[in-house]
Amino acid sequence: MPTFWSGTVTPSKAHYTFDPNSEAYTDVLDDVIGQNYTATNIYDLDCDGSIGLGDVMIISENWLDGSDEALSR
């Protein structure tokens, strides 16, 4: 990143949603990317901050229909 940098950051990571979806920066002096974003794993279904057995159980109970599509993505 150049010392002075302006632009719009749109974070993305598979299976995560971000709040905000993007944010504009002007004359960025330091590496601030990421500090203002809240990343939420869309598979953290019981919202305990991690992917664990509870989430897998919810997936298996609600979305698995005989294929493994829900878990393979």
Q: Which H or E run contains 24?
A: strand 23-28
* Residue 55 engages Ca ion in binding (rule: CB under 5 A): yes
d(CA 11, CA 47): 21
Minimum CB separation of residue 16 from Ca ion in Å reads 13
Give the range of 5-13, 20-28, 54-62, 64-72 binding Ca ion by CB under 5 A: 54-62
Environment class of residue 38 by beta-carbon count within 10 Å: exposed (0-12), middle (13-18) or buried (19+)? exposed
Nearer to Ca ion, 25 or 63 (CB): 63
Residues found near Ca ion in the complex (CB under 5 A): 44, 46, 48, 55
